[in-house]
Amino acid sequence: MKILVCALALVAGTCVAQDAGQFQPAETNVWGAEYPRIDSTGRVQIRIKAPDANKVKLNFWSGPKVDMEKQPDGFWTITTTPLVPGLHYYVINVDGADASDPGSEAFFGGSRFTSAVEIPEPGSTYYSIGNVPHGQVRDVWYESKVTGSWRHAMVYLPPDYEAQSKKRYPVLYLQHGGGEDETGWIRQGRANVILDNLIAAGEAKPMIIVMACGYARRAASAAPNRDEMMQSFEDDVTQALIPFVDKTYRTLADRDHRAMAGLSMGGFQTFQITTKHLDLFSHIGGFSGIGGMLDDRKWDLKTDFNGIFADPASFAKKVHLLYFGVGTVEPERFMTRIRSLHTALTEAGVQHVYWESPGTDHEWQTWRRNLKGFAPLLFHPAKSL
Q: Hey, which residues between 166 and 225 contact a copy of itself (CB under 8 A)?
A: 181-183, 186, 192, 213, 215-222
Number of residues that bind a copy of itself (CB under 8 A): 74
Closer Cβ to a copy of itself, 96 or 202, answer by number = 96
Tell which positions 96-115 bind a copy of itself, by CB under 8 A: 96-100, 102-106, 108, 111-113
Residue among 239 and 328 whose Cβ is closer to a copy of itself: 239
| Minimum distance, C-beta of residue 21 to a copy of itself, in the bound complex (Å) | 21
Q: How far is CA 59 from the centre of its chain?
A: 21
Rounded to whole angstroms, the Cα distance separating 33 from 23 reads: 13
What span, in angstroms and rounded, lies between the C-alpha atoms of 18 and 364?
A: 24
- Asked if 89 and 115 touch (Cβ cutoff 8 Å), the reply is yes
- Using CA of residue 366, residue 198, residue 206, residue 137, what is the dihedral sign? positive
Amino acid at 101: D
Shortest CB 161 distance to a copy of itself, Å: 11
Q: How far apart are CA 348 and CA 16, in angstroms?
A: 55
Q: Is the dihedral of CA 183, 61, 121, 371 positive or negative?
A: negative
Q: Work out which of 34, 41, 55, 167 binds a copy of itself, going by CB under 8 A.
A: 55
Considering only residues 18, 23, 30, 253, which one is a binding residue for a copy of itself as defined by CB under 8 A? 30
Taking CB under 8 A as the binding criterion, the range among 6-14, 81-89, 289-297, 331-339 that sits at the site for a copy of itself is 6-14
Contact flag: residue 17 with a copy of itself (CB under 8 A): no
**Of the two residues 8 and 201, which places its CB atom closer to a copy of itself in the complex?**
8
94 binds a copy of itself (CB under 8 A): yes
Closer by beta carbon to a copy of itself, 11 or else 335: 11
Candidates 43-51, 324-332, 351-359, 376-384; binding stretch for a copy of itself (CB under 8 A) = 43-51
Quick one: which of 321, 300, 323 has its CA closest to 310?
300
| Contact between residue 271 and residue 295 where contact means Cβ atoms under 8 Å apart | no
Nearer Cβ to a copy of itself (163/382): 163
On the CB side of 75, CA atoms within 13 Å amount to 10
Cβ proximity of 167 and 159 under 8 Å? no
- Taking contact as CB under 8 A, which single stretch among the options 49-57, 256-264, 328-336, 363-371 is the one that binds a copy of itself? 49-57
The Cα–Cα gap between 270 and 261 comes to 6
Pick the closer one to a copy of itself by CB: 194 or 377: 194
Alpha carbon separation from 95 to 54, 62, 68 (Å, rounded): 6, 21, 12
Q: From the CB of 170, what's the least distance to a copy of itself, in Å?
A: 19
In the sheet that holds 75-79, the strands lie side by side as: 24-25, 37-38, 44-49, 75-79, 69-70
Q: Which is nearer to a copy of itself, 186 or 321 (CB)?
A: 186
122-161 residues in contact with a copy of itself (CB under 8 A) are 129, 131, 134, 136-141, 143, 147-152
Could you say which residues in the range 233-272 bind a copy of itself, by CB under 8 A? 248
Please list every residue from 298 through 357 that binds a copy of itself, using CB under 8 A.
none
